[in-house]
Structure 1
Amino acid sequence: MFSHLVPLLTVVLATISSVSAVWPAPQSYSKGSSVLYLHQNIKITYNGAFLPYTYGYTAQGLSSKEIVQAAVSRALGSIFDDKFVPWMLKRRGELAKFEPDVYKGQRWLETLQIVQTTEDKSSAFKPLAGEVDESYNLTLGTEGEVKLTAVSAVGILRGLETFTQLFYQHSSGTFWYTPFAPVAIQDSPRFPHRGILFDTARHWFSIADIKRTIDAMAFSKLNRLHVHVTDSQSWPLVVPSLPELSEKGAYSPAQTYSPADIEGLQRYGAVRGVQVYLEIDMPGHIGVVAESHPELIVAYDAQPYYWWCAQPPCGAFKLNNTAVDSFLEKLFDDVLPRVAPYSAYFHTGGDELNANDSMLDEGIRSNDTEVLQPLLQKFIDAQHARVRKHGLTPMIWEEVPLHWNVTIGKDTVVQAWLGADSVKMLTGMGHKVIDSNYNFWYLDCGRGQWLTFENGEAWDEFFPFNDWCGPTKSWQLIYSYDPIANLTEEESKLVLGGEAAVWSETIDGATLDGIVWPRASVLGEALWSGRKDAAGQNRSQVEAAPRLAEFRERLVAKGIGAAVFWQEWCGQADGMFVCPG
């Protein structure tokens, strides 16, 4: 059906029989073909001391031992609970040929030895990019011993995620096994910042939605959740010293995040190696503040909106108003001390500021860049000084240095989104960069126009009502992008990594999982392993697709509603059939 719309479909036999679908791909990986069974009473040690396996154990603090013990509990619990019988990865009716005979020659994994070679620093669970070593070595011997060695507790978390991917449940339901012994893995990430930008202002997401996202990020070795917590549409963040912001700016009293919610999410992420940090976008994208403080805002819900902002409702801070500065001092003195214990960063936004807004500002009455630039410079300087005062590193969108020519500190991390040229310019200026290139890594793209139109010229102009950044960013497109392509060696060193953007105009909790996963996991491999293999060759989609298919099934088994990305048929036949064009 519809075969005339796609290239001729050919079935090819790949050389990846009995795929051990470790995702993201390790830097070095060798495996054998011996079967070992995992016992629920496997003996575990951590730096030589017995570590009990307690089902459902949750870390109460942020000590290395607690975090490792909780990670072991999650890893083993995942293997035993997920019931991952890989029928969907084998030729129809032939799972039994892949599965071992549980009545013959059983050999058991006897010990799991975990060794952390260096004591964690106090910043280990809220590091700046590159401050924590995430590397690990994992060996699994045919005599029943497993050894996981890492420099840090976070490296142990990454190794345990890999460990879980080596195991399947037998269809009998009573045994868990790996068919790949002996295993030897040496692994480390290519980029230290591997994240998701999560927009909670266009649509609000429940705590359960966000925790589920953090879980899937940890499975995928992603380590930064950037929460774009406010925008002109809503203010769900409860600020005790300014309660009116959420009381008047949230969509409903039930759709808010209390200080306890934020701390709980940050702690939840920290024990999984995922740093949760916040963005309050300003001086644009802040119109909702007018619901409680109209004296601080210009152009809120101004029409026609496209004259004043990128999307309705509009609204920006007045750039020449001392009351705005007093308000922000109070806001930051409340919010920043509470998020600083669990985060190294705070994002102050800065994107898509429309100069026309200041034409409505009684203190400016101009859209002249030469008039506005010094005011914006003063505004940014003041907010970044406040961020630093609370021990945090500022982040900002690319328009501030590139479009407005604002000088920023060398510590400031710039988030680029308008393309590879921006990354080239920013790194050429000496700035540290997080790449979120909308041409590749915007997961909300391709879902159609969310604005509505009357019949007539506007209808005709916008037909067929596509969104601005379509088409949909397929997993293949996400996989193909290298954020340091065409950069010099020195420029490349300034690219800390990237984030997949989940702007939520057309995404809510009901649709979240299938839009984000497994595509965000593909970003995870692109940033962990890199687009090229150890030989410098582009990684083959033919090799990656079966691994991604198995990883997607593991996500589903864990309760993540990850979308399908090809036919079931493509992934069967012992993982050997793929569907190239």
Structure 2
Amino acid sequence: MSFYLLLSLFVTQVLAIWPLPSSMMMGEEVLFVDRTVNFIYNGAAQVALPQPEQMPFEQDLNLFISQQGNYGHHNTSSQKVISTAIKSTTQTLFEQNFVPWKFHPRHSDFEPAMNASCNYIKTVYLKQTEADPANVTKPLAGDVDESYSLSIATNGRATITASSSIGIAHGLTTFTQLFYKHSSGAAYTPYAPVNIKDAPKFQHRGLNMDVSRAWYAPADITRMIDALAYNKFNRLHLHITDAQSWPIEIPALPMLAEKGSYREGFTYSPQTMAYIQDYGASRGVEVILEIDMPGHTSSIAYSYPELIAAFNEKDWSTYAAEPPSGTLKLNSSGVTEFLDTLFEDLLPRVLPYSSYFHTGGDEVNVNAYNLDDTVRSNDTAILQPLMQAFVDRAHTKVRAAGLTPIAWEEMLLTWNLTLGSDVVIQTWQSDEAVAQTVSKGHKALVGNYNYWYLDCGHGQWLDFYPDASQAYYPYYDYCAPLHNWRMMYAYDPLEGVPANLTHLVLGGEVHIWSEQTDPVNVDRQVWPRACAAAEVLWSGAKDEHGQNRSQITASPRLSEMRERLVARGVGAEPIQMPFCTQNGTQCAL
């Protein structure tokens, strides 16, 4: 035991790339990066010098609007993906890097000497071997080859090869994770030579972010996109409306946001949404919008009360999962006209940036239809054909706009609707729901709330009157306890899925709901725990031996990834104290 502990004090840290590549080999030679490093993309030199400071968000947004027009109807180009990745690379290397003192024994002289004999990387060669598909920045799952290879020779020659611009961007992300900040301000790697080959396990790797229950400024969302891209996530699902507020502006229905938002100015204009979508697309993160319906729609009643049944009932828990209660009426011509107008306005503005549109469908409470004057029943035998017609109309509109529908699992598994084979089903309640979904022939997204909900474990956000209080003590929330990164890392998206149906599991999403989350704490709620899901979705839950990946080797890499996120301005929580990261496996049992 004493010999084990002695070794653990001086163990050399593993190469800390996150998520883990498919294969990698590295050495122990030191290379620096020249601050004027050039990037050659398919033989053409690219502008590479980092900006002295990032452009303020408002200035960046105004520039985007002036360039793209009033509604930003523009497809992000492959060249923009490359240019954005190069700019991000230089900023990360020279402006957002960190000195890795936490990963070496205390007071050790771990930094390489800088002298005239040092080798420098002066050029990075980017080789894209195939033309990008037309939908490269808004792909359906599987449409884009995201693989890449990366090599760095001891003489400083660095090459990234990929079939697509997105693969090149992933390779540049990995490239930055090989380098540390020297106390002199330089950037160096101690790992040359390097050879990496890498490709994702799952096609859809996302975060579902609730931006309706709390207000998030656009800069909060773009900061999230940057962090997602750095973890090789490729989807940001914005749950953008709910019962509590309607922050997205619909010019054809201006009162929706004017009355449904929390306050004046807490809205996303078409120009702002186009900016956010373009920001994601240029970083390989497809932004998918969700307008949840027919439940979770109470905020519509502030402007169109005639469309909502059971709005803001005092006994809200009888009619809804959360206050205020309310659902779109299920057999109303007014609702049909409203949704037609909504879709005709919104969907054409989604199309340039995404191939998907999420129509919601979760947690519909049948009791609300007792108060629906177009139905007046909670009998599912009566409601089911009406729900079928409601969803059919919505999905027909989505398809007509050139988009693929996504829906929550309840529409398929609870309401037993017949859905088109193109509809992607987002599961959240159990692993059994995934297996049931694929057994019905549908593509599935995983995200079991028992593992991948990031907002759990903080206690109830509801208050309890004295006569009911004791029954709820000690006030755990419905998805408690908090799901720590190790639990999230151990979750296998393919658990219980028959081997012949695993191809229907497109991937999954982690979820951050906003009952107790807002811009003040969203970073630490999401990061670095979401990194655990990122590695599961990119690298797979199992290692080459079919075993769950080791926490012992993952922990120092995740701690280092946390430092990289912090250096990039993300308020991520620590994984362990410096004593642990400085002393190898001494903090392991």
TM-score, structure 1 normalization = 0.95
Report the residue type matching 1:487 in the other structure.
Answer: V
CA distance in 1, matches of 2:268, 2:38: 41
Aligned to 1:500: 510
1:247 and 2:258 matched? yes
1:355 and 2:366 matched? yes
CA distance in 2, matches of 1:512, 1:528: 23
List structure 1 segments (4+ residues) > 6 angstroms apart after TM superposition.
Answer: 57-61
Aligned to 1:78: 92
Match of 2:42 among 47, 58, 66: 47
1:211 and 2:222 matched? yes
Q: CA deviation at 1:416?
A: 0.2
CA distance in 2, matches of 1:304, 1:344: 40
1:68 and 2:78 matched? no
Change in 2 beyond 3 A, CA 1:16/1:224: farther
Q: Is the 8 A contact 1:545 1:578 kept in 2?
A: no
Q: Which SS does the other structure have where 1:13 is aligned?
A: helix
Match of 2:342 among 313, 322, 331: 331
Q: Is the 8 A contact 1:284 1:350 kept in 2?
A: yes
Q: CA deviation at 1:17?
A: 1.1
CA distance in 2, matches of 1:108, 1:566: 33
Deviation by residue 1:433-468 (Cα, 9 ceiling, x = unmatched): 011110000000101100001212x10111111101
Q: Is the 8 A contact 2:421 2:442 kept in 1?
A: yes
1:103 and 2:115 matched? yes
CA distance in 2, matches of 1:536, 1:412: 31
Q: Which SS does the other structure have where 1:266 is aligned?
A: helix
CA distance in 1, matches of 2:586, 2:521: 28
Change in 2 beyond 3 A, CA 1:108/1:243: same
Match of 1:310 among 321, 341, 358: 321
Which segment is superposed worse, 65-74 or 336-345?
65-74
Aligned to 1:288: 299
1:516 and 2:513 matched? no
Determine what percentage of the aligned residue pairs are the same residue.
48
1:543 and 2:553 matched? yes
1:580 and 2:588 matched? yes
Aligned to 2:135: 123
Aligned to 2:21: 26
CA distance in 2, matches of 1:71, 1:301: 47
Q: CA deviation at 1:171?
A: 1.5
Aligned to 1:168: 180
Aligned to 2:565: 555
CA distance in 1, matches of 2:497, 2:432: 10
Deviation by residue 1:333-383 (Cα, 9 ceiling, x = unmatched): 000001111001000000010111110112211100000000000000000
CA distance in 1, matches of 2:34, 2:413: 57
In the TM superposition, 1:350-389 aligns within 5 A as 350-389=361-400
Q: Is the 8 A contact 1:11 1:580 kept in 2?
A: no
CA distance in 1, matches of 2:314, 2:435: 36
Match of 2:498 among 483, 488, 497: 488
Which segment is superposed worse, 529-538 or 292-301?
529-538
Q: Which SS does the other structure have where 1:396 is aligned?
A: strand
Which segment is superposed worse, 338-347 or 61-70?
61-70
CA distance in 1, matches of 2:218, 2:314: 34
Q: CA deviation at 1:578?
A: 4.8
Change in 2 beyond 3 A, CA 1:261/1:117: same
Q: Is the 8 A contact 2:558 2:575 kept in 1?
A: no
CA distance in 2, matches of 1:344, 1:109: 39
CA distance in 2, matches of 1:143, 1:16: 28
Match of 2:286 among 271, 275, 286: 275
CA distance in 2, matches of 1:440, 1:11: 36
Report the residue type matching 1:491 in the other structure.
Answer: L
Q: Which SS does the other structure have where 2:37 is aligned?
A: strand
CA distance in 2, matches of 1:130, 1:50: 30
CA distance in 1, matches of 2:10, 2:315: 58
Q: Is the 8 A contact 2:288 2:357 kept in 1?
A: yes
Q: Is the 8 A contact 1:218 1:272 kept in 2?
A: yes
Q: Is the 8 A contact 1:12 1:579 kept in 2?
A: no
Q: CA deviation at 1:110?
A: 3.1
Q: CA deviation at 1:15?
A: 9.2
Q: Which SS does the other structure have where 1:406 is aligned?
A: coil
CA distance in 2, matches of 1:16, 1:73: 35
CA distance in 2, matches of 1:551, 1:88: 12
Q: Is the 8 A contact 1:288 1:300 kept in 2?
A: no
Q: Which SS does the other structure have where 1:127 is aligned?
A: coil
CA distance in 1, matches of 2:412, 2:465: 39
In the TM superposition, 1:474-485 aligns within 5 A as 474-485=484-495
Q: CA deviation at 1:52?
A: 2.6
Tell me the C-alpha RMSD between the 2 structures: 1.7
CA distance in 1, matches of 2:241, 2:84: 32
1:132 and 2:144 matched? yes
Q: CA deviation at 1:83?
A: 4.0
1:436 and 2:444 matched? no
Q: Is the 8 A contact 2:432 2:496 kept in 1?
A: no
In the TM superposition, 1:421-460 aligns within 5 A as 421-456=432-467, 458-460=468-470
CA distance in 2, matches of 1:189, 1:416: 21
Aligned to 2:107: 93
Match of 2:167 among 155, 167, 184: 155
Deviation by residue 1:237-281 (Cα, 9 ceiling, x = unmatched): 100010000111000011110001100000000010000010000
Aligned to 2:72: none
Q: Is the 8 A contact 2:13 2:556 kept in 1?
A: no
CA distance in 2, matches of 1:82, 1:365: 59
Change in 2 beyond 3 A, CA 1:447/1:11: farther
TM-score, structure 2 normalization = 0.94
Q: Which SS does the other structure have where 2:580 is aligned?
A: helix
Which segment is superposed worse, 81-90 or 215-224?
81-90
Q: CA deviation at 1:89?
A: 1.4
Q: Which SS does the other structure have where 1:401 is aligned?
A: helix
Report the residue type matching 1:566 in the other structure.
Answer: Q
Aligned to 2:538: 528
CA distance in 1, matches of 2:479, 2:433: 17
Aligned to 1:341: 352
1:471 and 2:481 matched? yes
Q: CA deviation at 1:565?
A: 2.3
Q: Is the 8 A contact 1:234 1:288 kept in 2?
A: yes
Q: Is the 8 A contact 1:207 1:261 kept in 2?
A: yes
Deviation by residue 1:49-92 (Cα, 9 ceiling, x = unmatched): 22231424999772222321221121012110124111111111
In the TM superposition, 1:393-432 aligns within 5 A as 393-432=404-443
Q: CA deviation at 1:537?
A: 2.7
Q: CA deviation at 1:12?
A: 7.2
Match of 2:207 among 192, 196, 211: 196
Q: Is the 8 A contact 2:102 2:581 kept in 1?
A: yes
Q: Is the 8 A contact 2:128 2:168 kept in 1?
A: yes
Q: Is the 8 A contact 1:195 1:225 kept in 2?
A: yes
Q: Is the 8 A contact 1:546 1:578 kept in 2?
A: no
CA distance in 2, matches of 1:434, 1:99: 44
Q: CA deviation at 1:11?
A: 8.9
Change in 2 beyond 3 A, CA 1:14/1:547: farther
Q: Which SS does the other structure have where 2:475 is aligned?
A: coil
Deviation by residue 1:413-438 (Cα, 9 ceiling, x = unmatched): 00000010000111111110011110
Q: CA deviation at 1:489?
A: 2.1
Figure out how many residues of one structure are paired with residues of the other and give that number: 567
CA distance in 1, matches of 2:111, 2:559: 19
CA distance in 2, matches of 1:186, 1:518: 24
CA distance in 2, matches of 1:318, 1:330: 16
Structure 1: gaps of 5 or more residues:
1-9
